[in-house]
Amino acid sequence: MKKKKQDKFHIDLDLTSMLDVIFIILMVVMCQLRFDAKSEAQNIEELTAELAEAEESADMYKSQLEAIENEDKEVAFLMVRAKFDANDPALRTISMFRDTETSLMDDITIRPDNEDEGFGNFEKKLDEYLVSADAENMPVLLTLIDDRILYRDHVRISAILDELKEAHPNLFIRNGEE
């Protein structure tokens, strides 16, 4: 009788299926970790390659930035602007700038009665600049801003620039707007 009582309270649990499930889950987790380890190694290699590429690009950009910062020492940029007054087309002005802010000469006012003198003064000022210490040993890129210029002034200034270009091999001329 005792035996039956013991059997009543004794429960046999079959853990085989539960262990199978646990081992399957464990295998999946281990395989996943193994794949992650492989992909992490690949990621590290890819990131290292990208870092080397980024460092090369940074060096290139630094050298370009240094070149841009030193461009004033290597090339002289000039702008010549000739424009007319819309209210009085006979009144025209010529300005010359080293950069957008530094004026190299006072504005030359040209009227029909002083055209030759005004254009002669412009040619003299530009020639003085081209032989000055600022521009003597470097190329000079001159841009003629022609957004509000009269045709006759454009022809006259272009002729002056062509003469100066022949006299000064370091002068390069570009026509165009800002």
Under the banding of pLDDT at 50, 70 and 90, the label for residue 106 is confident
**Pairing label, strands 108-110, 92-97:** antiparallel
Classify 71-176 by CATH class: alpha beta
Question: Any idea what DSSP says for residue 103?
Answer: B
Is the pTM higher than 0.75? The answer reads no
CA angle 40, 45, 49 (to 5 degrees): 145
Say whether pLDDT at 2 is over 60: no
Under the banding of pLDDT at 50, 70 and 90, the label for residue 111 is confident
Say whether pLDDT at 176 is over 80: no
82 Cβ neighbours under 8 A, 6+ residues apart = 92, 93, 94, 95, 144, 145, 146, 149, 150, 153, 154, 157
pLDDT of residue 135: 63
Mean pLDDT of 30-53: 77
